Amino acid sequence: MSLKTKILIINIFSIFIITLGIALEIKFVLTQNLEDRLILRTSNMASILSDSIIEPLLSNNVYLTHQILTQYKENNSEVGYIDILSNQNEVLSSTFSNGFPKELYLLQISKTESNVAVFSSEMGKFIDVKYPIADGSLGYIHIGVTEREVGQRIQEIMEKILFLSFFINLLASLLLYKLTNTITANLKKLTLYAKNIALGNKVLEPIIKTNDEVRELFISFKHMLKALERSSKEEIQLITKLKDEEIKRELLKRTMETLEKERKRLSMEIHDSVMQNLASINIMLKIFQSKLDQKEKLDLENIQKLIEATIEELRNIANNLRPPQLEKLGLKSSLESFFNETEKRHNLKTNFDFSISEEKLDWTWSINIYRIIQEAISNIVKHSGANNAFVSIKEINDKIEIEVKDDGEGFDVDETLSKKSNRLGIVDMKERTKTYGGEFFISSTKGGGTIVKISLPKPKNDDIG
């Protein structure tokens, strides 16, 4: 069952529950109101009837009294019976042809201050209205009316309410389906786009037609990609134009530092701007969720999981742009975190050996080593098909020795370096190594895995800061 179908079912069920509650409340209020009106109408009837039987009662004309009561009962369909009791609780006259019911007699002679009594019988529910004849000197008249008319009226009203609620439910369901379809479709497009960008795949930009937070999120993401692409192109153009190696390395070093600053800015923009837009979407869903029944709220978690997956992808991109642990916890912890994340996402297990002192490594050296290893692991994930990687960082003879191995398929190094489209990762590692006065070596055989070795001189005092 799709997410949109689940939300539609939740909406229909919720509106049904709400409508049912409202209908029951309306039914209760209408019943009270119609019963009050029925009692008032019966009291008026009793008042008129009592005036018309005073003379027959005074003349002790039982036959005429019975005829008047019977005629009133026949002319009023809601009247079930009419009887007259004396002050000594004697039945003077009634419309009952088969004897006066004992239960009704006991009810009418019971001492009560109320002139209205409700009771049930085989014929249904009755309201017994008591009214004095000649201010009670000649006894009391009792009229029993049924609630059939009240029930029929309430049934008609309830049918109209349920009929109207059906159309309201249908309209709300259509609007909700359209809204949910728009949100989920755009989020899926954006999530897939972010995943492909993170993996380095070239894909067409998704078409986001809505003018909401999702579109703002996409625009911010697109601006970030363009800024990174522009910075990379400018870096490559400047490097290729320079022939002097020393100037070239110095400029490359400064370019890398500038690029790292730009990555930091973009990483902060993702956290502070892009993710805020996603938070707005989440708030919108929570507002809708609060309108549902408590038991149904859990079914909206699929949309929130989709948002969380998008946030997770953006967080990974932001972390790749600027590893947060590097400044706080150092190079070793940052690499361990990176290896753990790679194992979770790509099932590549990394055996890590770190045996150098980080005290002399400032941010520039740490991020440079981090980027080299990050690129090496990225190449393993994309091209090697390896299950295991082996990374070691050691200090030997005043040099930092880095080695990255894998048990993958291997490749022809010369053939790969001859293809510009496939050698950018290797070139990046090599140029970074040379920029800091190091040596770069790569070897690989088909079916025998790949080894990348990097030797960097320990940073001097003037390299730190």
HEC string of 173-211 equals HHHHHHHHHHHHHHHHHHHHHHHHHHCCCCCCCCCCCCC
Q: How many helices (H) and strands (E) does the chain have?
A: 14, 10
Q: Is 259 left (phi over 0), alpha (psi -120 to 50) or beta?
A: alpha
Q: What is the dihedral of CA 429, 433, 439, 443, to 10 degrees?
A: -10
Q: Where are the alpha helices (DSSP H) in 329-464?
A: 331-346, 363-379, 413-417, 424-435
Residue 367 token pair: 């991020």
| N-terminal to C-terminal alpha carbon distance within the chain | 58
pLDDT at 352 (0 to 100): 93
Model confidence, pTM? 0.42
pLDDT at 464 (0 to 100): 40
User: Position 4: which residue type?
Assistant: K
Beta bridge partners of 350: 389
Per DSSP, 322 falls in state: S
Q: How many Å apart are CA 201 and CA 86, to the nearest integer? A: 101
Per DSSP, 98 falls in state: S
348 phi, psi to nearest 5 deg:
-105, 110
Q: Which residue has the tokens 């099932």?
A: 347
pLDDT at 141 (0 to 100): 92
pLDDT at 36 (0 to 100): 82
pLDDT at 258 (0 to 100): 63
Q: Identify the CA nearest to 109 among candidates 134, 95, 128.
A: 128
Q: What share of the chain is helix, strand, coil (3-state, %, to 5)?
A: 65, 15, 20
User: Position 333: which residue type?
Assistant: S
Residue 446 burial (CB count, 10 A) = 9
CB 377 within 8 A of CB 338: yes
Element (H, E) at 64: helix 62-75
CATH architecture of 3-153: 2-Layer Sandwich (3.30)
Candidates 3.10.20.740, 3.40.50.720, 3.30.565.10, 3.30.420.130; CATH matching 323-465: 3.30.565.10
CA distances from 54 to 48, 59, 71, 75, 243 (A): 11, 9, 16, 20, 130
Beta bridge partners of 394: 355, 401
Q: How many Å apart are CA 415 and CA 307, to the nearest integer? A: 43
Segment-wise mean pLDDT, segments of 10 residues, the chain, 465 residues? 63 74 78 81 88 88 90 87 90 86 83 78 79 89 81 75 76 74 71 68 69 68 71 64 56 60 62 66 68 63 72 67 68 88 91 85 80 89 91 90 92 79 72 85 89 86 46
Give me the residue spans of the domains in the chain: 3-153, 323-465
Residue 272 token pair: 């502070």
